């Protein structure tokens, strides 16, 4: 039997497979998308489809064509890349094999279809190209949002790559594969850390010459200098590779340098058609042109629609360089540990926000379903970006703050703005779909309605100084978009169909050809009656009738008696017993029109739809500006909305490295606990001209916060970080009053995050993160440390914590502002040793004698941060509250009190080596005598057999000599130990 893989269709299939390595290939055959071989096995598993065999030995699994979007979504969610091969020709017209081509490649980072995207989150493709110069290793970066055409380039030190990528909602990373096709280890590290999809690309696509040429050709320029990219700019390879990937995935165009060079001189933007990979631009252009030429003469279905996609990627904006200066950096670790976009225990940016407090993240607080601060997806995406990438200059922050303040102060304006924004849909992504030939009738109508809000936005922003930049954007776009909006609205009906397959988008009375086609469908009878009457009158043949039958179609009939008088214009069609049947060119025309009326109406509508899309395509730049203005206005009013709801205040932003927060709250916890949340103050850093601080004594830059577990230390230090971050994003902050000195970076070290560091020990993670902080901290940074030194032995931990606190508090003349929460109360001694640099804060606890547990105290955590130190850890109380069995709690109290007694003996000559080491830490000199419930740090090491022996001795039964012998024996024991 012939090899089933040798058939022409399968040859076509394998060609596409070769052109799209690493992709699952969905191959359209009739009403199904089929997959074969390993793909069939994979897909049947991933989607639960039945695995069959096309012919013996060729596994096959297929999905009905109308389920495509659904299956694509599920496959992409599972991390697959999928190439879709469509039929580019009506199979009935095909001579031999049906013309097929890969029309799109769906990958996690290049999604554009609404059904595959989350409206509230960006989905960015990141291209990474490493550049070595000497010992220095840099990464050139390009970020492209396929759905909106946003294109940003940047570069960073190779070791900061993860941080750069983490704050940008990256859905997929592309990189240059090694010669053996493997992922370079430094890419692998980042991919593992961030858990994003990654795709290797041919390394030549990252060559600077190739990349530069591709960019120039696509944007129709002779130099990239206008985009701020020098000839050898490190970002060029990444930008070029990103563009090549987009072309391949969105337009099915496999980048082929030879074809590109050939096309370069001829076409600026290029007709990038959806043809099969490997087809040159010239061929594509010819195919599209011929398809367009044939558009009116014959019906065009889905195949033609695919062919007519034009100017693909026209929405892609020229690359914009992102300046590193003027930015506030949050690294990947802090982004996670402060729970900006996702909670530490899971729930990604896409996790649905559940209630008013959102999903427990800062972003969720603004964008959660219950919060609904923003009215448009564009506003939501921008607000997310603002929170993940705050500003780094006083001017930048103040100007945003001013705009937010406008909406806070003028609630009427805010309400009107919200009402106007409610009418605006995701025009940024709709414009993208239009440019990629993937817009639906509903998209077009939504676009028309949305951009018609332009005049309302202009009215609302008139004379509002703080909103002038947004107004300018709208104003510039107005001239171009208003007429298009007008045309869309006046031509399209109010309830557009989901697709163009059956027409129904355009109103009656706007196009004669469409009206006629529609009229013919509904009104063929009256036309015929009218025509019959005309003929009767014209030829004076009262017996003449116009009729129709299924076999012969339309005819004019004369009784046999009148047939003799039939005029010459009537041509004979059929002779019956008693009658003759005729036709005329007019009637043939009519027949033609009626029988094709429906398809002509649909076709006409399709052409009109394409024309309107074409008009919209002509103004994508203006739509993008309008979209940008809407996003900004929405994000600004969203921030104001949040501020008003919880009484947040406008922070004062200053250059000096200070931080003064009064009545500060944790934004997310406050939302959950309401008035039950206890506000707290903090004051750090000295500002020139400022006297003694109000809270916490000296305005030192390092605060050590001690207090029992569960008292609220973490909450407090996180809230300080979040308030600082919000202030830098231009937002109001949850406090009664706040002055925030400019911060260049927030560093955090809060709890181990396994997701980020799988495979490393908790302590190693802790130390790696701390090393990063100490190596990169500047006097402008804010450092948040929670429980440093926990992951190792108590002594090691204390020693490390001590040295780290000392480093931050005093190594430099201007130490960073730092908050250090610790259960090592020994550290509180630093306040005396480093006066003016370090200060102690503690969390207040209220104690009273227990009624149910005689001899012990009940405690309440007041969550109030006060100056001074604590020497209690209340671990056993917390354990009791947590529900440890009563017996275990009792026993731990016994152990504790016995240990406490030993500790009371202090550290003498007989101290263990551990104790002797610890004693050399100056802090111990300041140790406070323990009270009930406090396990002093080193007592746990006094567990010597000599002590057990001592405990056994019954003094009253010993003679003095025996006592002396015992003493000698025990002393010997201590020396041998
Ligand atoms: P610690 O870091 O001291 O162990 P946490 O900061 O984790 O304690 O706080 C423990 C719990 O106490 C929090 O989950 C929260 O419910 C509550 N809490 C903390 N701070 C406050 C506060 N200021 N007001 C009200 N409740 C608080």
Q: Ligand 1 test: best mutation among 715, 749, 845, most atoms within 8 Å of CB?
A: 715
Residue 249 near residue 172, CB atoms below 8 Å:
no
Neighbours of 757 (CB within 10 A): 18
d(CA 44, CA 37): 11
Longest dimension (CA), the chain: 159
H or E element that contains 532:
helix 512-539
Q: How many angstroms separate the alpha carbon of residue 706 from the centre of ligand 1?
A: 13
Q: How many angstroms separate the alpha carbon of residue 669 from the centre of ligand 1?
A: 9
479-483, 740-744, 768-772: range with lowest mean pLDDT: 768-772
Q: What is the mean pLDDT of residues 463-471?
A: 95
Q: How many angstroms separate the alpha carbon of residue 709 from the centre of ligand 1?
A: 9
Q: How many angstroms separate the alpha carbon of residue 768 from the centre of ligand 1?
A: 27
Whose alpha carbon is nearest atom 17 of ligand 1? 712
* 160-178 confidence digits (pLDDT tens): 898 889 888 899 999 998 8
Q: Which residues contact 304 (CB under 8 A, 6 or more apart)?
A: 291, 295
The predicted structure's pLDDT at residue 900: 58
Helix, strand, coil in percent for the chain, rounding step 5: 45, 20, 35
Q: Which residues contact 664 (CB under 8 A, 6 or more apart)?
A: 679, 680, 681, 682, 719, 720, 723, 733, 734, 735, 736, 738
Q: How many angstroms separate the alpha carbon of residue 719 from the centre of ligand 1?
A: 11
Whole-prediction pTM value? Answer: 0.77
Whose alpha carbon is nearest atom 18 of ligand 1? 712
The predicted structure's pLDDT at residue 873: 67
CA distances, 267 to each of 311, 611, 890 (Å): 11, 21, 84
Instruction: State the closest ligand 1 atom to the C-alpha of 787, by its place in the atom list counted from 1.
Output: 2
Closest CA to 387 of 215, 638, 670, 184: 638
Inform me whether the pLDDT recorded for 650 exceeds 60.
yes
Q: What is the mean pLDDT of residues 871-877?
A: 73
The pLDDT confidence band at residue 407, using thresholds 50, 70 and 90, is very high
Q: How many angstroms separate the alpha carbon of residue 332 from the centre of ligand 1?
A: 24
Q: Ligand 1 test: best mutation among 676, 705, 712, 749, most atoms within 8 Å of CB?
A: 712
Q: How many angstroms separate the alpha carbon of residue 680 from the centre of ligand 1?
A: 12
Residue 390 near residue 725, CB atoms below 8 Å:
yes
SS3 929: coil
Neighbours of 657 (CB within 10 A): 23
* 309-335 confidence digits (pLDDT tens): 444 688 898 898 877 666 788 888 888
Q: What is the mean pLDDT of residues 360-370?
A: 87
Residue 906 near residue 939, CB atoms below 8 Å:
no
Closest CA to 287 of 302, 276, 296, 298: 276
Q: How many angstroms separate the alpha carbon of residue 670 from the centre of ligand 1?
A: 11
* 204-261 confidence digits (pLDDT tens): 999 999 999 999 999 988 889 888 888 888 899 999 999 999 988 876 565 444 444 4
Q: Ligand 1 test: best mutation among 863, 875, 877, 882, most atoms within 8 Å of CB?
A: 863
Of all residues in the chain, the percent with pLDDT exceeding 90 is 38
Instruction: State the closest ligand 1 atom to the C-alpha of 666, by its place in the atom list counted from 1.
Output: 23
Q: How many angstroms separate the alpha carbon of residue 878 from the centre of ligand 1?
A: 13
Q: How many angstroms separate the alpha carbon of residue 861 from the centre of ligand 1?
A: 9
CA distances, 392 to each of 61, 400, 588, 886, 945 (Å): 53, 12, 75, 53, 60
Q: Number of helices (H) and strands (E), helices first, in the chain?
A: 34, 27
- Binding-site residues, ligand 1, Cβ < 6 A: 673, 676-678, 680, 707, 709-715, 863
Q: How many angstroms separate the alpha carbon of residue 890 from the centre of ligand 1?
A: 26
Cα 791 versus chain centre, distance: 33
Which range, 755-759, 765-769, 930-934, is most confident? Answer: 765-769
- Mean pLDDT computed over every residue of the chain: 81
Whose alpha carbon is nearest atom 9 of ligand 1? 712
Q: Outline where DSSP puts E strands in 472-549.
A: 545-549
Of all residues in the chain, the percent with pLDDT exceeding 70 is 84
Whose alpha carbon is nearest atom 20 of ligand 1? 712
Exposed, middle or buried: residue 716 (CB in 10 Å: 0-12, 13-18, 19+)? buried
d(CA 237, CA 228): 14
- Angle separating helix axes 427-435 and 597-618, nearest 10 degrees: 120
d(CA 368, CA 361): 9
The pLDDT confidence band at residue 142, using thresholds 50, 70 and 90, is very high
d(CA 640, CA 401): 9
Copy the structure tokens of residue 974: 């201590």
Whose alpha carbon is nearest atom 10 of ligand 1? 710
Whose alpha carbon is nearest atom 15 of ligand 1? 712
SS3 110: coil
Instruction: State the closest ligand 1 atom to the C-alpha of 680, by its place in the atom list counted from 1.
Output: 23
């Amino acid at each position: 039997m012939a090899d089933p893989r040798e058939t022409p269709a399968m040859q076509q299939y394998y060609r596409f497979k070769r052109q799209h390595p690493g992709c699952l290939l969905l191959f359209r055959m009739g009403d199904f998308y089929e997959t074969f071989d390993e793909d069939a096995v994979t897909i049947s598993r991933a989607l639960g489809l039945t695995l069959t065999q096309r012919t013996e030995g060729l596994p096959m699994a297929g999905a009905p064509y109308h389920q495509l979007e659904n299956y694509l979504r599920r496959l992409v969610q599972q991390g697959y890349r999928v190439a879709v091969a469509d039929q580019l020709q009506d199979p009935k017209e095909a001579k031999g094999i049906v013309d097929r081509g890969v029309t799109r490649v769906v990958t996690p980072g290049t999604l554009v279809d609404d059904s595959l995207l989350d409206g509230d989150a960006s989905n960015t493709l990141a291209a990474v190209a490493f550049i070595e110069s000497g010992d220095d290793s840099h990464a050139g970066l390009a970020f492209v949002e396929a759905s909106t055409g946003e294109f940003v380039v940047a570069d960073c030190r190779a070791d900061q790559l993860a941080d750069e990528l983490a704050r940008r909602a990256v859905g997929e990373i592309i990189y240059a594969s090694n010669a053996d096709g493997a992922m370079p280890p430094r890419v692998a590290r980042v991919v593992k850390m961030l858990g994003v999809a990654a795709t290797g690309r041919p390394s030549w696509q990252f060559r600077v010459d190739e990349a530069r040429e591709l960019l120039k050709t696509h944007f129709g320029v002779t130099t990239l200098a206008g985009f701020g990219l020098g000839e050898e700019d490190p970002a060029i390879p990444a930008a070029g590779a990103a563009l090549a990937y987009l072309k391949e995935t969105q337009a099915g165009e496999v980048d082929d340098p030879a074809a590109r060079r050939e096309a370069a001189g001829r076409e600026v933007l290029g007709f990038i058609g959806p043809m099969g990979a490997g087809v040159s631009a010239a061929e594509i252009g010819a195919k599209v042109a011929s398809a367009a030429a044939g558009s009116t003469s014959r019906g065009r279905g889905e195949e033609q629609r695919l062919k007519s996609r034009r100017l693909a990627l026209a929405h892609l904006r020229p690359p914009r360089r992102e300046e590193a200066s003027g930015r506030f950096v949050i690294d990947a670790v802090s982004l996670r540990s402060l729970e900006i976009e996702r909670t530490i225990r899971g729930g990604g940016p896409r996790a649905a926000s559940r209630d008013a407090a959102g999903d427990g993240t800062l972003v969720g607080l603004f964008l959660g379903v219950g919060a609904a601060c923003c009215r448009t997806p564009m506003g939501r995406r921008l607000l997310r970006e603002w929170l993940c990438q705050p500003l780094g200059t006083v001017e930048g922050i103040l100007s945003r703050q001013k705009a937010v303040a406008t909406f806070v102060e003028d609630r009427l304006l805010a309400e009107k703005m919200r009402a106007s924004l409610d009418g605006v849909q995701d025009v940024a992504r709709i414009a993208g779909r239009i440019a990629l030939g993937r817009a639906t009738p509903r998209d077009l109508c939504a676009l028309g309605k949305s951009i018609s809000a332009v005049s309302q936005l202009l009215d609302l922003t008139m004379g509002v100084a703080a909103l002038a930049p947004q107004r300018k954007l709208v104003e510039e776009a107005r001239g171009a978009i208003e007429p298009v909006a007008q045309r869309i609205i006046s031509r399209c009906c109010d309830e557009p169909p989901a697709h163009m397959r059956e027409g129904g988008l355009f109103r009656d009375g706007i196009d004669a050809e469409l009206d006629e086609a529609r009229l013919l469908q509904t009104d063929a009878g009256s036309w015929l009656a009218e025509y019959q009457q005309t003929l009767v009158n014209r030829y004076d043949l009262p017996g003449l009738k116009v009729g129709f039958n299924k076999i012969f179609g339309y005819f004019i009939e004369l009784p046999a008696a009148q047939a003799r008088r039939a005029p010459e214009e009537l041509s004979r069609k059929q002779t019956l017993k008693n009658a003759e049947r005729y036709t005329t060119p007019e009637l043939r025309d009519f027949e033609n029109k009626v029988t094709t009326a429906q398809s002509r109406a649909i076709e006409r509508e399709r052409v009109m739809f394409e024309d309107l899309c074409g008009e919209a395509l002509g103004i994508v730049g203006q739509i993008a500006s309008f979209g940008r203005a809407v996003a900004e206005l929405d994000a600004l009013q969203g921030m104001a909305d949040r501020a008003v709801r919880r009484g947040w205040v406008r922070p004062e932003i200053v250059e000096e490295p200070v931080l003064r927060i009064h009545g500060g709250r944790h934004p997310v916890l406050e939302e959950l606990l309401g008035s039950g949340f206890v506000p707290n103050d903090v004051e750090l850093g000295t500002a020139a001209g400022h006297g003694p601080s109000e809270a916490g004594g000296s305005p030192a830059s390092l605060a050590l916060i001690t207090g029992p577990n569960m008292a609220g230390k973490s909450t407090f230090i996180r809230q300080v970080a979040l308030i600082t971050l919000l202030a830098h994003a231009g937002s109001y902050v949850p406090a009664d009053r706040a002055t925030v000195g400019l911060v260049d970076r927030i560093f955090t070290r809060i709890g181990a995050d396994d997701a980020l560091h799988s495979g490393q020990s908790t302590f190693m993670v802790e130390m790696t993160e701390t090393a990063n902080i100490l190596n990169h901290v500047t006097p402008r940074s804010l450092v948040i440390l929670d429980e440093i030194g926990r992951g190792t032995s108590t002594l090691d931990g204390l020693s490390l914590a001590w040295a780290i606190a000392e480093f931050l508090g005093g190594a430099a003349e201007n130490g960073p502002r730092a908050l250090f929460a610790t259960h090592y109360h020994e550290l509180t001694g630093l306040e005396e040793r480093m006066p003016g640099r370090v200060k102690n804060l503690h969390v207040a606890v209220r104690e009273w004698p227990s009624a149910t547990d005689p001899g012990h105290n009940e405690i309440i955590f007041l969550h109030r941060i006060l100056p001074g130190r604590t020497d209690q850890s209340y671990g056993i109380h917390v354990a009791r509250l947590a529900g440890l069995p009563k017996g275990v709690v009792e026993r731990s109290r016994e152990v504790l009190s016995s240990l406490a007694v030993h500790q009371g003996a202090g550290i003498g000559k007989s101290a263990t080596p551990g104790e002797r080491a610890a004693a050399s830490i100056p802090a111990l000199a300041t140790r406070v005598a323990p009270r009930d419930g406090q396990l002093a740090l080193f007592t746990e090491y006094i567990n010597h057999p000599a002590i057990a022996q001592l405990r056994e001795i019954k003094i009253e039964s010993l003679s003095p000599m025996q006592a002396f012998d015992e003493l000698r024996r025990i002393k010997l024991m201590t020396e041998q130990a």
